[in-house]
Amino acid sequence: MWVLHLLALAILVVAGSGQAMAESLSRQPNTTVELLAESLAPRPGGTVTVALAMTARPGWHTYWKNPGDSGIETRASWRLPEGFAISAFRYPVPKTFMVSGIMNHVYDGESILLAELSVPEGALGRFELAGRFEWLVCDDSICVPEAAELSLPLAIGDGAADPVAAPRFAAARAALPVRLAETGRFEVRDGRIRVAIPLAATGDVTGAHLFADDETMLRAAAGQKVSRRGDALIVETEAAGPAAPARVSGVLRVERGQQVGGFAFAAEPGAVEPGEPLAAAERAAGRATTAGLGPAFGLALVGGLLLNLMPCVFPILSLKAMSLARAGTSQAAARVEGLAYAAGVVLSCVALGAVAIALARAGAGAGWAFQLQDPRVILVLMLLVLAIGLNFAGVFEFSLGNASIGSSLAAKPGAPGAFATGVLAAFVATPCTGPFMAGALGAALVLPTVAGLAVFAGLGLGLALPFLLVGFVPGLRRALPRPGPWMQTFRRILAVPMLLTAVALAWVLGRQAGVNALAFGLLAALLVALALWWAGLRQARLGPALVPAALAVAAAIAAPLLLPRLAATGAATAAAAPAQLAGLAFSPAALAELTARRTPTFLYFTADWCITCKVNEKGALASPKVADAFRAAGVTVMVGDWTRPDPEIARFLESRGRAGIPLYLFYAADGSVRELPQLLTVDMLTGLASPGSSDRP
């Protein structure tokens, strides 16, 4: 193993020449590195935290201080003015990377290494924090040594923190392992080492890995058996050699479901008894998690039921339900249509849920309505809703299955038409996360896969329930108005909310992908509308109009395929808080900085395609009373815009057990966090700034 280290070190020393001019940021072929200081004006006689931020390109990684079986720790050769001193790096919690039986301790993406710069008393004027940095960056098949000369100009001053760098330092500190005050124990027996690490609240731990500070303590590639005994986690693995070390120290990476943290520990020799395997705890946690299926299913059922009141679903449901009241419909036929409609809704919701769960399991971060973050889907939905609106308005007629020309899209008889209408209703309902749905869909993403899909099926069942009842309960059908000439007028009235929905989706498309994409979408909508108008004229004179209908379908299919080129050149617009609130853009680092300073913070997540979000933003959030109350109480407003995919927002929502938006959180000055309902009121928001408002619900 040491041969690999020496070989990598030799390559690193010979590699990379210095740059002609050092700067604070350097972009190497596989890594971007940047030198940062928490204060650009460090105080004489004090210390200032400095950082080396390293970002490996996707698929590549850098190394922890003990790199494992291969690799090299990042090396720094500092150049400091006389009298200055700097500490060794402090590293964030690493990850494991096993390839061909070789275990590495690594970082992918960004890792920030921290060090403390000591400034001597009497220091004056300007100086440079400079050095040469060498590291190894690898993928799963090749390693490349890289190096950079970095320099950061600083000036002696009052030690004030740099507000630009503050969020990154807050995030870097949050990624460091927490040092445990209590010392652990370890013993070596028969070539194996067993380490007991004191850790409160071990009951919810689902996994752990021990990273030793150096390679003389344990064999990196050996498997680790993790168990629990009281308030201690016990890690057993192969010792590095027959002789027991005098002391064991390192970092314990701990997983609690999808939450990951780390603890720096030290252990002295002592007897360590084996504990209860974590597998037993995992099975118990699995039983507890599955026990949550019932409440989540019930909430999803109620949430789906409420989706029927949305402006783009209610017209479809209304016409479809009244179509069952037509004369001559048998009980058997009504049940078949009810079941077919429910099948279309449930299968669509389960399919969308399966994709959302798969993306969440892959770490991509997704939730309900994830597909609406793609402007191509927005365009398809806009053209589809436009076509429905024109159909309701009588511009053209549509048929499926055994429907005759002249029946409306939402009123086609027979199982095929009912199934297609159910699919349509589920698809157009996805922009909404109404009351009762938030917790249910959030649970669906963390439940076992089968249980999660059952929750999405519950959502579909709730959405389908009104029409299903109409199909199975003759009394409900008799209570509905009988079809007649008035239906044509009612149908045309219901075209209005559908066409308004198309306008709203056009606005979302422009905000999401820019003015070029909006213009292209409007052109596609014009072509589809003209083709459908032509189809309607031919239907009135000649019957079926296959050619214009085919042109409309072709335009609707071609438009999303051509959209990405135009969307790439258009400037998208980010969602913002109402002007009176002057909201900051969400980032985990900025939120960590605000909460560390105990600044009262109102955080909410929105998207241009979220109807409930926009209702709140035009209503309670736009009230001058709310702005005045927040301003008087020193409340900072932070906005997370999820109109487009954002992994940080997706991970944050997942950490809160949520799969969709809106989400409203208030971080009080005492450190408590309060989650607000999805429908906001002015009194609710102004009450946040009142004494006693920080009580946790």
Going along the chain from its start, the domains and CATH numbers come out as 2-173 (2.60.40.1250), 179-287 (2.60.40), 292-569 (no CATH), 579-689 (3.40.30.10)
Query: How far is residue 508's CA from residue 514's CA, in Å, rounded to a whole number?
Result: 9
Residue 30 has pLDDT above 60, yes or no: yes
Q: Which two tokens stand for residue 257?
A: 């479901």
Instruction: Flag whether the pTM goes above 0.75.
Output: no
Highest mean pLDDT among 296-310, 357-371, 610-624: 610-624
Q: Which tokens belong to 567?
A: 């969307």
Q: Which of 625, 652, 629, 654 is nearest to 640 (CA)?
A: 652
- Within 473-587, residue ranges assigned H as helices are 474-479, 486-513, 515-542, 546-569
Taking a C-beta distance cutoff of 8 angstroms, is the pair 93, 123 a contact? no
Tell me, rounded to whole angstroms, the distance of Cα 131 from its chain centroid. Answer: 37
Q: What is the DSSP letter of 580?
A: G
Which residue, among 409, 424, 419, 461, has the nearest Cα to 440 in the 3D structure? 461
- Residue carrying structure tokens 């320099």: 151
Residue 146 confidence class, pLDDT cut points 50, 70, 90: very high
pLDDT bucket at 19, cuts 50 / 70 / 90 = very low
Confidence of residue 185 (pLDDT cuts 50, 70, 90): very high
Q: pLDDT tens-digit profile of 255-310?
A: 877 678 889 999 999 999 888 877 544 444 444 445 556 777 777 788 777 777 77
**pLDDT-based confidence at residue 22 (cuts at 50, 70, 90):** low
The DSSP code sequence of 38-103 is: S-SSPPTTSEEEEEEEEEEPTT-EEEEEEEESS----EEEEE--TT-EEPPPB----EEEEETTEE
The neighbouring-strand residues paired with 97 are 104
The pLDDT value given to residue 20 = 35
Structure tokens at 390: 């024109």
535-593 pLDDT per residue, tens: 888 776 765 556 666 777 777 677 766 665 555 444 555 555 566 777 788 887 788 78
b/e map 232-264, b = 16+ CB within 10 Å: bbbbbbebbeeeebeebbbbbbbbbeeeeebbb
The torsion angle over the Cα atoms of residues 281, 283, 284 and 285, rounded to 10 degrees, is 80
362 φ/ψ angles, rounded to the nearest 5 degrees: -80, -5
Contact assessment for residue 421 and residue 410, using Cβ atoms and an 8 Å cutoff: yes
pLDDT band at 502 (very low <50, low <70, confident <90, very high): confident
pLDDT on residue 540 = 66
Average pLDDT over residues 520-548: 77
Between 173-187, 294-308, 520-534, the lowest mean confidence (pLDDT) is in 294-308
Q: What's the rounded Cα separation, in Å, for the pair 94 and 241?
A: 24
Position 150 scores a pLDDT of 95
Per-residue pLDDT for 404 more than 50? no
Give pLDDT, residue 527: 86
Please check the confidence at residue 466 and state whether its pLDDT lies above 90. Answer: no
Q: What are phi and psi of 534, to 5 degrees?
A: -60, -45
Rounded to 5 degrees, φ, ψ at 120 are -70, 155
What's the rounded Cα separation, in Å, for the pair 29 and 70?
21
CB 206 within 8 A of CB 285: yes
Q: How far is CA 431 from the centre of its chain?
A: 16
* pLDDT at residue 503 tops 60: yes
Q: Are 319 and 408 in contact (CB under 8 A)?
A: yes
Question: Both tokens of residue 690?
Answer: 């009142």
**Residue listed under structure tokens 């150096």:** 214
- Residues 666-677: what's their mean pLDDT? 84
Region 119-141: mean pLDDT is 92
* Mean pLDDT along residues 93-115: 89
Residue 353 has pLDDT above 70, yes or no: yes
Average pLDDT estimate for 99-107: 85
Assign 133 to helix, strand or coil. strand
Q: Could you tell me the pLDDT band of residue 653, with boundaries at 50, 70 and 90? A: confident
Integer-rounded Cα radius of gyration of the chain: 31
Q: What is the DSSP string of 178-209?
A: EEPSS-EEEEEETTEEEEEEE-S--TT--EEE
pLDDT value, residue 151: 95
Structure-token pair, residue 74: 């990042």
Average pLDDT, the chain: 78
122: phi > 0 → left, psi -120 to 50 → alpha, else beta; which?
Answer: left
Backbone angles phi, psi at 45, to 5 degrees: 80, 0
- The mean pLDDT value for 226-232 works out to 84
Amino acid at 107: Y
| pLDDT at residue 281, rounded to an integer | 44
Q: Residue 179's pLDDT is what?
A: 86
Confidence of residue 236 (pLDDT cuts 50, 70, 90): very high
* pLDDT exceeds cutoff 80 at 457: yes
Q: In this prediction, what percent of the chain has a pLDDT beyond 70?
A: 75
pLDDT of residue 303: 73
Q: Looking at the predicted structure, is the pLDDT value of residue 16 above 50?
A: no
Give me the sheet containing 25-27, strands edge to edge. 25-27, 31-37, 47-56, 110-118, 85-86
Which two three-digit tokens encode residue 281? 């705890």
What pLDDT sits at residue 279? 54
Q: How many CA atoms lie within 13 A of 373 on its CB side?
A: 21
Determine the average pLDDT of the residues in 165-190: 88
Q: Is the pLDDT of residue 311 over 70?
A: no
Reply yes or no on whether the pLDDT at 525 is more than 70: yes
Q: Please give the average per-residue pLDDT across 106-114, as a whole number.
A: 93
User: Which of 657, 300, 287 lies closest to 455 in space, CA to CA?
Assistant: 300
Residues sharing a CB contact under 8 Å with residue 488, sequence separation 6 or more, in sequence order: 394
| Residue 455 parent element (H or E) | helix 449-472
Query: Any idea how long the chain is?
Result: 697
* Measured distance CA(137)–CA(135) in Å, rounded: 7
Lowest mean pLDDT among 147-161, 295-309, 329-343, 647-661: 647-661
